[in-house]
Structure 1
Amino acid sequence: MAYTRKLPRRERLASSLPRQEIVHDISDDEKTCECCGTDMHRMGEDVSEKLDFIPVY
């Protein structure tokens, strides 16, 4: 009998909550490869959701 670890699964945040999209990108003049002069392309994307908690004093 092999043991399999259960990965924790978090429920998605409610769709009624406000969302803010933040994109980290390089400037347009840095999107050309210095070696060969071709245009660079997007290699990957990470998406996450974070809930800000502001305590009331």
Structure 2
Amino acid sequence: MDETITYTRKKTRRPSLSADLPREDVVHDIADTDKVCDDCGHNLHQMGEEVSEKLEFIPATTT
């Protein structure tokens, strides 16, 4: 006898960072000469994008 069990897990998600915090955009790109197909010479297109937020923690110092 075969038994199939299905379930879904809830993924925990961190809350978004406050909108009033300063942001810095870092874009990692390749050179324009590498954006051309070696076989046909046509321009390559962007296949995807990853976006993430990282909070920089600077500990307090005494002066």
TM-score w.r.t. length of structure 1: 0.86
Aligned residues: 57
Q: Alpha-carbon deviation of 1:4? A: 3.1
TM-score w.r.t. length of structure 2: 0.78
Q: 1:55: which partner in 2? A: 59
Structure 1 regions of 5+ residues with no counterpart? none
Q: Indicate the RMSD between aligned Cα atoms, in angstroms.
A: 1.7
Name the % identity.
54
Which structure has the larger Rg over C-alpha atoms?
2
**Higher alpha-carbon deviation: 35-44 or 1-10:** 1-10
Task: Describe the superposition over 1:10-36 as per-residue Cα deviations: whole angstroms up to 9, x where unpaired.
Answer: 111000000000111111111111111
Return the structure number with greater relative CO, CA threshold 8 A, min gap 6: 2
Structure 2 regions of 5+ residues with no counterpart? none
